[in-house]
Structure formats: C-alpha cells, structure tokens
Structure 1
Amino acid sequence: MKNELSNQIIDRITSLGLETTGKENIDQGERIVSLLAGTWLVYKSIKKIGKHPFLGFQGVAAGGLMLYRGATGVCPIYKQLGKDTTDPQAINITEDIVVNAPRENVYAFWRELSNLPKFMKHLKSVEEINEEISLWSANTPGGLVELNWNAQITREETNEYLGWQSLEGSMIVNAGKIEFKDTLNGIGTELHIEIDYFPPAGSVGKGIASLFSGLFERMIREDIQNFKTYAEAADFRQYAGLSDSLTT
C-alpha cells in the first residue's frame, strides 16, 4: 500500500512536469505550514480511498507534494514562477505627518539623532559619534534580538532635508530621509518620512530577515506617527522653547 501511494505521488508530480530537485526557495515558516497541511491532507485522503478512490488518490498526491516542499524546502511551482521566499525581505516605509510646531524646531530635534529613541520604541539608542557618524541600536519585536549598526548623514539641508544611511559592512542596511515643509498657515510643519531596512544577503541575512516580520514594520510605522503626539507634549515643547499652549 505504501509503495502504491508513493508511486501515485511521484506520478502526480511527474505529470505536472515539475522538477523534484533544486535550490531551496521557501522559508522555514512556509515549510512548517506545508508539512502540517500535507500530513493532514494525506491522512484525510487515505481515509477516503475506499469510498472515493479517485478523490482519495488526488488528495494523497496533493498532500505528498506539500510534504515534499516542506521536507526539502523546494517548491517546483515557485521555481517556475521565479519566486523565492528565502530571500531577505526589506521593509520600506513612507509616512506623511503634520505637527503643530515650527519647522526650525522640528528639524533641530530630528537632526540631534540621539532624540529619536524618545518617541521611536523600536530604537534602543542612537549615539552620535561625531557630526556625521552615529551608532544605532534597535530592538526587534519582543526584544529578543538587538541590532546594531553605524550610520552616516548623507545629505543635509538645514530646516529642509535630512538623509542618512548605514555604513558598509553593517549588520543591516538602514537608510532614511525626511523632508520638512511649512504648513499652509505657517505655524506647523509637514514631514515626509521614508525609512528602509534591508537585511544582508546570505545565511545570516535570512536569520535576521525572519525578525523583520509584519510586527516590526508596524512598530516602525507607529513610531513615526508617535512623533505627532510627542511634538505636542511638554517634553518636546520645553526642548524647542515653545509655550505650553497649542495653536490650532
């Protein structure tokens, strides 16, 4: 019976014209799901073979294919489509916010990079080594791993633009830019913020990439939005030398 089922699985894969060997192209999480789903499908399908042989063998073949992709890490369909979920995935974030504070004060606060962890929970610290170089430390969701890298200011236009990028050889590649503009009423500041995180290539990168989950991306987006609240709080207004009363 086992040999017969194995032959059915092999015949099914062969009939699809799919190769059964190749480079791994599905990540660990997807492999686990494939193994669990494949096991369940094979089990259910075997029970159907007596009453519905055709449907039963089809289910066994499909479950076998899922077990194959889970056990080997190779998905023939992904290979045909050129898809590879083991490649480190980048996080690209773009946000626009408006804060009720003068542009000069907002720019000065962001330019002092050590201020960023005050409202960005994903950043543990930013230590400014000199006018251009800084050491960044970030927490991943749950605080399981701490990421560290050095970054350099790449472009600076006082009160208008600030850009930075991690230095070559860093654990991760991080880049960001912020554009500062006056609001129409001339009282507040419009910020256009772009922040990118790229895990490195290779096996180390794959491990770090697993930490770049949707939770981490959501954490960063929330951090950016947190600045609006922080800019209207007493701590920022004291830093900027502003009065406690807000203009609406």
Structure 2
Amino acid sequence: MELTEAVSRIGARMKSRKVNVGHTERNASLVGGAALAVTGIKALTGRRYLPGLAMMVAGGMFLYRGKTGFCGLYQALGVDTSENAAGGVLIETFVTINRTPQQVYEFWRNLENLPSFMRHLESVEVTGENTSHWKARGPAGVTVEWDAEMVADYPGQLILWRSTGEAALPNEGTVEFREAPGDRGTELKVSIRYYPPGDGPGKAAAKMANAITGAQIEEDLKRLKQILETGETATAERTNNH
C-alpha cells in the first residue's frame, strides 16, 4: 500500500509539471546548459572545484529545463511561455562569416546595428539593459512596432529574444554563434518565429509577417557577412531599394 501511494504521489507530481517554457527558450536552455557544463568540466580539470561544480549544477538545471520544457520558477510565478510554442511561422537560416564568434556576437548584440542589414527593420532602439523597441516596414508602406526583451545572453554563443506586451507582431527567436570547422570563422544560425495575427487591427501585421521569408532573411545574413568581412555598409543598397 505504501509503495502504491508513493508511486501515485510521484505520478501526480510529474503531471503537475506541465510544459511551461516556449520553444526558443528550450533551445536556448539546451545550448546554454551545454556551454555551462563544458566550462564547469574545464574548471574541475583546472582544480577550481567550487566554481566548476556550481557551473555543472547550473548547466544541468538548464539542460533539464530545455529537455522537459518545465521551469519550477515559472510555475511558482504563474508564468507560461509555451502557449505559442506549436504555432507561428518558423524561419531558420545559416551563414558562415570569416570572423570570430565573439566579433559576430558583439556586432549583433548592439541591436541598433540590425537595421543596417535587415531590410524589413526601420529601426531598433535600446530602451534598457535587456529591452528594446522595434519598428519594421511592410508591404505598401505598412509600419509595425513592438517592444522586446532579451531573455538569454551568452556572450559569443547565443542570444534569445521575444516580443513583450500587446505586440502588433508577436515574435521570438534565437541567434547562435558557433566556431566553424577548419578555422573558417563563425557559423551563424538565426531562428525566428512569428505569430501573425488574424483579421481586424492585426491584419497589416499579418501581411508583414507573411512577407518575411527564409530567402529574405538569408539575403539579410549575406549583407551582414559583407559588412563584417569587408567593412562596407549596406546603406547604398537600402537607399536604392526603398
């Protein structure tokens, strides 16, 4: 009887741990957890036992969060970012840039640089340590604005953001910076998920979201590659196209 009750309690506890972490956050947790674990192992190898163990534990927690989609802190605070995880429009693109991951990261981390190579962005204004205001152009001169927050920031490795509040065009995404094989610089992976609204006030934002394609983001990353490798800007090209 006691064993049966124990199993029931464990089962009830597991059921209460429903997925409450969104898709991109889970990916970020997996990447960040792996990075922390590797750093912890290096620290242990160098006989820095306390910091090494701390990083190993933290890495394990992030890996668990990413694997299961469950966050105890979110549950305690009543936060759930998984509601849109299965929907939206996902765009993933890759490019190899002949610069170090840290160099590419530093350029991207200065969010106000993004409109210099992303055609649909008119401006990005940094409003706080982890917050920003975005303004984008769409078909027929449509303008859409939203606020965003940086959820995760691992220098030289990963950036995770998501829109906040009543965003006209809800979105989230990750940018991963990895060392390219053969000393070829950085493999940059960008994943963006948009949640186009339906008819009504959000119809213009829906048209904009539908106009953003993988091919367009791929062209954006090619411009980023040109800027970082040659030092040239895309100002002239953007002027000619708008």
Shared fold (TM-score, shorter chain, > 0.5):
yes
Matches within 5 A, 1:1-248: 90-142=88-140, 144-201=141-198, 203-213=200-210, 215-217=211-213, 218-235=215-232
Q: Cα deviations across residues 192-235 of structure 1 (Å, max 9, x unaligned)?
A: 1101222235522344323433x432433421332222222224
The alignment yields a C-alpha RMSD, in angstroms, of 2.1
Q: Which amino acid aligns with 1:216?
A: I
One-letter code aligned to 1:93: I
What amino acid maps onto 1:149 in structure 2?
A: W
Seen in structure 2, the aligned counterparts of structure 1 residues 211 and 122 have a Cα distance that, compared at 3 Å, is closer
Deviation at 1:90, TM superposition (A): 4.1
Task: Give the secondary-structure state (helix, strand or coil) at the position aligned to 1:176.
Answer: strand
CA deviations 1:115-165 (Å, max 9, x no partner) are 0011111110100011100000111134x1111000000111111000100
SS at match of 2:219: helix
Identity of aligned residues (%): 33
Contact persistence 1:93–1:221 (CA under 8 A): no
Q: Which moved more, 1:218-227 or 1:190-199?
A: 218-227
Instruction: Return closer, same or farther for 1:185/1:124 CA change in 2, 3 Å cut-off.
Output: same
C-alpha distance in structure 1 between counterparts of 2:146 and 2:205, whole Å = 13
Work out which of the two has the higher radius of gyration on C-alpha atoms and give 1 or 2.
1
TM-score, with length taken from structure 1? 0.54
Shift of 1:104: 0.9
Aligned pair in 2 of structure 1 residues 221, 147: CA closer, same or farther (>3 Å)? farther
Gaps of 5+ in 2: 1-86, 234-242
Contact 2:161 2:173 in 1 (8 A): yes
Q: 1:137 to 1:151 in 2, by over 3 A?
A: same
| Deviation readout 1:174-200 (Å, 9 max, x if unpaired) | 211011111123350011110122223
Note closer, same or farther for the CA distance 1:207–1:129 as it changes in structure 2 (3 Å cut). Answer: closer
TM-score scaled by structure 2?
A: 0.55
- 1:203 and 1:234, CA in 2 relative to 1: closer, same or farther beyond 3 A? same
Q: Indicate how the Cα distance of structure 1 residues 228 and 211 shifts in structure 2: closer, same or farther if over 3 A, else same.
A: same
Give the number of equivalent residue pairs. Answer: 146
Unmatched segments (≥5 aa) in structure 1: 1-88, 237-248
Contact conserved, 1:137 with 1:148, CA < 8 A, in 2? yes
Tell me how far apart the structure 1 counterparts of residues 123 and 159 of structure 2 sit (CA, whole Å). Answer: 19
Structure 1 counterpart of 2:125, one-letter code = E
Q: More helix per residue: 1 or 2?
A: 2
Q: The residue matched to 2:129 in structure 1 has which SS?
A: coil
